[in-house]
Structure 1
Amino acid sequence: MESKRNNNLDLLRTIGLLGVILAHVSPPDIVMQLRTFDVPLMVFVSGIAYGISNDNQSASVLYYRHRLLRLLAPTWTFLLVFFSYFWIVDIVTNDHYITSYLIINSLFLRGGGIGYLWIIKVFLLVAISSPIIQYVNKRIQNNFIYYFFICMLLILYFYLTDIKIANNIEFQNSLFRILVNEYLFYIIPYSLIFAVGLRISILPKNQIIILFLFTLISYVFVSRINVENVFSNINAFKYPPQSFWTIYGLMISILLYLFLTYGNMHLQFHKLIFFMSSSSMWIYLWHIFLLKNWNHGTGHIPDFAKNYFVKFLVLTVLASLITYLQKKGFHFLIAKYEKHHFIYRVISVCFLK
Structure 2
Amino acid sequence: MIERDRSIDIIRGLGLICIILAHVNPPFFIFQVRNFDVPLMVFISGFLFGDKNQEFKSIADITSYLWKRFVRLVVPVWAFLTLFYSIQYCFPYLFKVDYTQYPHIILSSYMLMDGFGYVWIIRIFLMIAILGPLCSNFIKNKWQLLLYYVIYEIVIHYSKNLFEPTVQRYIDQFGSYSLGFLLFFMLGAQYKDYTSKTKITLFMTCMVITILGMAYTIFYLDKPFDIGALKYPPRSFYIYYAIIIFSIIFWIKPRLRNINITILNFIGSSTIWIYLWHILFIFLINFKHWYLNWIIIIIFSMVLTYLQQRIVSKVITYFQLSDTISKQLRIIFCS
If the length of structure 1 is used for normalisation, what is the TM-score? 0.84
**Match in the other structure for 1:344:** 326
Q: Deviations over 1:169-223 (max 9, x none)?
A: 241484x434411111111111111010112123333332222123223434555
Report whether the alignment pairs 1:163 with 2:166: no
Separation in 2, partners of 1:94, 1:245: 32
- What does 1:180-329 align with in structure 2 at a 5 Å threshold? 180-220=171-211, 223=214, 228=221, 232-261=225-254, 267-294=258-285, 298=286, 305-329=287-311
Q: Deviations over 1:56-111 (max 9, x none)?
A: 24562222111112100100000000000001123888964312111101001111
**8 Å Cα contact 1:22-1:312 kept in structure 2:** yes
Separation in 1, partners of 2:235, 2:53: 30
Separation in 2, partners of 1:136, 1:126: 15
Letter in 2 for 1:281: I
Separation in 1, partners of 2:133, 2:242: 23
Separation in 2, partners of 1:78, 1:292: 14
**8 Å Cα contact 1:209-1:258 kept in structure 2:** no
- What does 1:119-134 align with in structure 2 at a 5 Å threshold? 119-134=121-136
Separation in 2, partners of 1:115, 1:173: 19
For residue 48 of structure 2, give the secondary structure of its aligned residue in structure 1.
helix
**8 Å Cα contact 1:122-1:186 kept in structure 2:** yes
Deviation at 1:123, TM superposition (A): 0.5
**Match in the other structure for 2:317:** 335
Deviation at 1:260, TM superposition (A): 2.5
Letter in 2 for 1:161: I
Runs of 4+ in 1 over 4 A off after TM superposition: 91-96, 221-231, 264-267
If the length of structure 2 is used for normalisation, what is the TM-score? 0.88
Q: Deviations over 1:261-317 (max 9, x none)?
A: 3xx5675453222211110000000000111122xxx4xxxxxx4211111110111
For residue 50 of structure 2, give the secondary structure of its aligned residue in structure 1.
helix
Give the direction of change, closer, same or farther, for the CA distance of 1:230–1:254 in structure 2 (3 Å limit): farther
Separation in 2, partners of 1:319, 1:265: 24
Deviation at 1:48, TM superposition (A): 0.9
State the superposition RMSD in angstroms: 2.7
Select between 189-198 and 238-247 the one with higher mean Cα deviation.
238-247
Q: Deviations over 1:205-259 (max 9, x none)?
A: 3332222123223434555676758971111111221212122112211221113
Report whether the alignment pairs 1:103 with 2:96: no
**Match in the other structure for 1:115:** 117
Separation in 2, partners of 1:230, 1:324: 44
Separation in 1, partners of 2:15, 2:212: 25
Separation in 2, partners of 1:91, 1:337: 37
**8 Å Cα contact 1:43-1:193 kept in structure 2:** yes
Unaligned 5+ runs, structure 2:
none
**8 Å Cα contact 2:99-2:106 kept in structure 1:** no
**8 Å Cα contact 2:76-2:333 kept in structure 1:** yes
Letter in 1 for 2:163: F
Give the direction of change, closer, same or farther, for the CA distance of 1:77–1:242 in structure 2 (3 Å limit): same
Give the direction of change, closer, same or farther, for the CA distance of 1:231–1:267 in structure 2 (3 Å limit): farther
Give the direction of change, closer, same or farther, for the CA distance of 1:338–1:52 in structure 2 (3 Å limit): farther
For residue 99 of structure 2, give the secondary structure of its aligned residue in structure 1.
coil
**Match in the other structure for 1:7:** 6
Select between 338-347 and 178-187 the one with higher mean Cα deviation.
338-347
Separation in 1, partners of 2:198, 2:234: 26
Separation in 2, partners of 1:221, 1:243: 12
Separation in 2, partners of 1:159, 1:272: 43
**8 Å Cα contact 2:7-2:257 kept in structure 1:** no
Q: Name the count of aligned residue pairs.
A: 328
Select between 59-68 and 74-83 the one with higher mean Cα deviation.
59-68
Aligned identity (percent) is 27
Q: Deviations over 1:29-54 (max 9, x none)?
A: 10000111100011111111111222
**8 Å Cα contact 1:337-1:344 kept in structure 2:** no
